[in-house]
A and B are shown apart, each in its own frame.
Chain A
């Protein structure tokens, strides 16, 4: 009896222990799965970080004309070897000589389009309204992306429990040693199939046309700044069309004004003649024209300055010489008592008699 009862109990106890073990194993497994899924998420997030362009260094606008590239001061490796001892100087040389060095290394058009495509996928994917892309396609894109950016898969196979990671790993692994260029092309093809309109999308404008002007400021490191505003304008100033033409160097317009009877010595509200403006902006042809039309070479503005004062201040030697040849008076003093030669920082010996 006792043994029997005991025996029955044993069976029950053993049974419940086994069931309990199995159950707790399953629970543990479940927990580890949940955790591993989270892990996988984190991993994906980290992998995606690499794509972020926040941290890209100063990268160049492709709008730079080709000519500029050729003017670039790049020392070629070859040159360097020849003159290793005298490398203190930089040899101006066309980068194109280095062509072989760059083959397979420089960013190609394919790189650009691929980059645009990945950016597009990221933006499109962020748009909740965009059509859902099947899991298989996403995995395929993932695999191609990894091949294109990192090459063949060399990382160890993730455990079978980490289903997401495993699926991705498989997608990468099965592409084997596919060349990155093929992967990029395939990627672009798939994206183009899913979103036929992507190439005209916004991200392409950025990459095709490419980069906006402010790209250089989107980088870590120092900033090149220049003046935000123009040199203050004198808003009270009233000037006529003939002054504007002289200032802008518009020869034809200037001739028209003179022919239509506008005085060649017309003054603006600061007392400046067209000749003052032409000298100020350095338009030699306009200066000659005005002088040939008998413009007053010694006209003084409201501060008592002649065109020669302007030429001296602005260091315009060729123009100053013409003015002097046309009998500009070198002794005229402005309201501060300065002659043209007082204002001249360069050494114009011909001006200081």
Chain B
């Protein structure tokens, strides 16, 4: 990666251009370590210093954005809350940002089968891969329609970039509106996702202008905050979470390189280790239906209220996000056989990945833990039933972050730590202390 850790600036008399380094600023920042978040801050500080020493990397773009800054870490005098006040919508820049001359903006109508196929194709061939380029996310078209059309969505936030001449879609970024509660305050924010630039256009620097453009369009709807995730440390994560994986089909995972077999371990024993019962164990465990929406909404609201950052779902949201959709999202609940009360809830979404360059397998079918609520059934048992259902449905692996109460079941249910960390960010909102993953109640797709 390029390190642009310098600014061109003029010196005192304005005559000479001088290029100076500002590396000192961030690495010298004072970090006040509190007992509670000592570990979190230390971890972040270490990372900041690592990036500074290894890459000499600074975050020029993000330092100008209204986001929590590294230099403010641990500075308790700064208020928690929005960093910039909203401006009148009429003062928001009305014209799109300029793209390099060969490209043009397009709004991607995801309802159109043709456009959806173009977006699918762009993402399937160019979106996120693992470190070793063995896997690439393969979000299905149905998934994209689900992810991009929640209640109250804005078509104008589904932004594409086309080549002027050929009209080929070469880049994409999206936002969706979501009511998110931070502490006691519920604010509609934008969730930014699916930033993707075609492989052949790397080093064309399209990403920054795309982020600015989506921000502009979010502002035009009078929305001033956003939530997003990244695998990289930017200024400044509100939480740093860890992915965990539970093998459902260990042989395939080993064959395709998703997991590795220790030299002194046998395949036979590994397969035995991950074996699951044929059917679920909790009485009253069944698939969620439309009629369950009010009960599930109540259950989720109550449950999510214990986390510091969580979505604030109404019934429309629950119907959209959690009502089962084939190969997109699955939700199960526990209906008490006696009282018929809905007491517990478990859900996961389906995100396959392309397996690159394996002769025997082309798709890795992964389930991702979504929102889970346990009131009567122990969470461990609930999740075990979710694993059983996923295994029945031929998923290869079940993934979960260590957010909410997930940590309580990960080890016992034989999840193993992943090599991927996911950092959560808020745009135009400062939190005083980094959150522990267990204080986070938000899942971004």
Of the 9-residue stretches A3-11, A18-26, A41-49, A256-264, which lies at the interface with chain B? A41-49
**Contacting pair A55 B4 (CB below 8 A):** no
Of the 9-residue stretches B30-38, B372-380, B416-424, which lies at the interface with chain A? B416-424
**Residues of B contacting A267 in the complex (Cβ-Cβ under 8 angstroms):** none
- A64-B133, A126-B21 given; A111·B203 CB < 8 A: yes
**Contacting pair B114 A142 (CB below 8 A):** no
Of the 9-residue stretches B56-64, B293-301, B331-339, which lies at the interface with chain A? B56-64
Q: How far is the CB of B172 from chain A (nearest CB, A)?
A: 9
Of the candidates B207, B270, B399, the one having the most CB atoms from chain A within 10 angstroms of its own CB is: B207
Residues 50-82 of chain A: 1 if any B CB is under 8 Å from the residue's CB, otherwise 0?
111111111111011000100111110100100
Q: How far is the CB of A214 from chain B (nearest CB, A)?
A: 5
**Contacting pair B420 A224 (CB below 8 A):** yes
Interface residue? A326 (CB, 8 A)? no
Would you list which residues of chain B between 116 and 136 have a CB under 8 Å from chain A?
A: 117-118, 120-121, 124-136
Bound CA–CA A50/B205 (angstroms): 7
**Contacting pair B60 A60 (CB below 8 A):** no
Bound CA–CA A125/B120 (angstroms): 41
Q: How far is the CB of A103 from chain B (nearest CB, A)?
A: 9
- Give the residue name and chain of the A residue nearest to B9 (CB): A41
**Residues of B contacting A206 in the complex (Cβ-Cβ under 8 angstroms):** 1-2
Secondary structure at the B interface, as helix, strand, loop or mixed, is mixed
**Contacting pair A224 B61 (CB below 8 A):** no
Bound CA–CA A215/B1 (angstroms): 8
Q: How far is the CB of A30 from chain B (nearest CB, A)?
A: 11
**Contacting pair A225 B202 (CB below 8 A):** no
Bound CA–CA A106/B200 (angstroms): 5
Q: Which of B124, B132, B167, B266 contacts A90 (CB 8 A)?
A: B124
**Contacting pair B9 A314 (CB below 8 A):** no
Q: Which of A57, A77, A106 contacts B207 (CB 8 A)?
A: A57
Would you list which residues of chain A between 196 and 238 have a CB under 8 Å from chain B?
A: 203, 206-207, 211, 213-235, 237
**Contacting pair B117 A80 (CB below 8 A):** yes
**Contacting pair A231 B270 (CB below 8 A):** yes
Query: Range of interface residues on chain A?
Result: 35 or more
**Residues of A contacting B141 in the complex (Cβ-Cβ under 8 angstroms):** 88
**Contacting pair A225 B207 (CB below 8 A):** no
Bound CA–CA A84/B113 (angstroms): 9
- Give the residue name and chain of the B residue nearest to A228 (CB): B419
**Contacting pair B10 A41 (CB below 8 A):** yes
**Contacting pair B1 A211 (CB below 8 A):** yes
Of the candidates A90, A149, A227, the one having the most CB atoms from chain B within 10 angstroms of its own CB is: A227
Query: Range of interface residues on chain B?
Result: 35 or more
**Contacting pair A226 B258 (CB below 8 A):** yes
Q: Which of A126, A309, A314 contacts B267 (CB 8 A)?
A: A314
Would you list which residues of chain B between 384 and 432 have a CB under 8 Å from chain A?
A: 399, 416-422
Q: How far is the CB of A350 from chain B (nearest CB, A)?
A: 21
- A128-B20, A229-B416, A230-B261 given; A54·B102 CB < 8 A: no
Would you list which residues of chain B between 1 and 56 have a CB under 8 Å from chain A?
A: 1-10, 14-21, 23, 56
Residues 267-301 of chain B: 1 if any A CB is under 8 Å from the residue's CB, otherwise 0?
11011100000000000000000000000000000
**Contacting pair B207 A55 (CB below 8 A):** yes
**Contacting pair A46 B126 (CB below 8 A):** no
Q: How far is the CB of B44 from chain A (nearest CB, A)?
A: 16
**Residues of B contacting A87 in the complex (Cβ-Cβ under 8 angstroms):** 113-114, 117
**Contacting pair B59 A60 (CB below 8 A):** no
Q: How far is the CB of B122 from chain A (nearest CB, A)?
A: 9
Bound CA–CA A315/B60 (angstroms): 54
Q: Which of B125, B234, B356 contacts A54 (CB 8 A)?
A: B234
Interface residue? A193 (CB, 8 A)? no
Residues 98-141 of chain A: 1 if any B CB is under 8 Å from the residue's CB, otherwise 0?
10111011110001101110110011011110001101001100
- Give the residue name and chain of the A residue nearest to B272 (CB): A313
Q: Which of A111, A116, A163 contacts B204 (CB 8 A)?
A: A111
Q: Which of A48, A84, A216, A309 contacts B129 (CB 8 A)?
A: A216
Interface residue? B85 (CB, 8 A)? no
**Contacting pair A122 B2 (CB below 8 A):** yes
Interface residue? A164 (CB, 8 A)? yes
**Contacting pair A222 B137 (CB below 8 A):** yes
Interface residue? A252 (CB, 8 A)? no
Would you list which residues of chain A between 268 and 321 have a CB under 8 Å from chain B?
A: 272, 276-277, 280-282, 305, 309-310, 313-315
Q: How far is the CB of B369 from chain A (nearest CB, A)?
A: 13
**Contacting pair A118 B2 (CB below 8 A):** yes
Partner-B contacts on A (CB < 8 A): 33, 37, 40-41, 44-46, 48-61, 63-64, 68, 71-75, 77, 80, 84, 87-88, 90, 98, 100-102, 104-107, 111-112, 114-116, 118-119, 122-123, 125-128, 132-133, 135, 138-139, 142, 149-151, 163-164, 167, 203, 206-207, 211, 213-235, 237, 239, 247, 272, 276-277, 280-282, 305, 309-310, 313-315
Which 10 residue pairs of A and B lie closest in terms of their CB atoms, listed nearest first?
A225-B420, A119-B2, A233-B262, A225-B418, A217-B231, A125-B19, A106-B200, A225-B243, A223-B231, A233-B264
